[in-house]
């Protein structure tokens, strides 16, 4: 399986494509350089295959690369960051 995580700014979300098919997304509310993540969804066909983790990792890597910060209101993203503390520096309180 090949993964591609890309931002869909028009829909305020990062999407993950698996073999060119939309497999999931994580939605955000933009607050300047801070993105407040509210919901993550992975298509049932891709559950339990690491797609959600790949989506969050790809999203956080892109946010970090552009100097942004996140507020993980989404429980899935919050749990991922808790399990991967090297991303904790991206977390800020809601603006």
What confidence tens digit (pLDDT) does each residue in 41-74 have? 999 999 999 999 999 999 999 999 999 999 999 9
Distance separating alpha carbons of residues 92 and 70, to the nearest angstrom:
6
Q: What order of strands is seen across the sheet that includes strand 21-31?
A: 3-8, 13-18, 21-31, 34-42, 69-72
Sketch out the chain's domains with CATH numbers: 3-90 (3.40.630.30)
Residue 93 pLDDT class (50, 70, 90 cuts): confident
Question: Which DSSP state fits 83?
Answer: H
What confidence tens digit (pLDDT) does each residue in 7-50 have? 999 999 999 999 989 999 999 999 988 999 999 999 999 999 99
**What would the two tokens of residue 63 be?**
């946010």
């Amino acid at each position: 399986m090949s993964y591609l995580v890309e931002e869909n700014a028009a829909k305020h979300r990062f999407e993950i494509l698996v073999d060119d098919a939309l497999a999931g997304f994580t939605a955000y509310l933009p607050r300047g350089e801070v993105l407040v993540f509210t919901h993550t969804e992975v298509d049932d066909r891709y559950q339990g295959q690491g797609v959600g983790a790949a989506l969050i990792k790809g999203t956080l890597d892109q946010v970090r690369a552009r100097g942004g910060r996140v507020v993980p209101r989404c429980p899935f993203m919050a749990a991922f960051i808790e399990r991967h503390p090297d991303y904790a520096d991206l977390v800020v309180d809601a603006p």
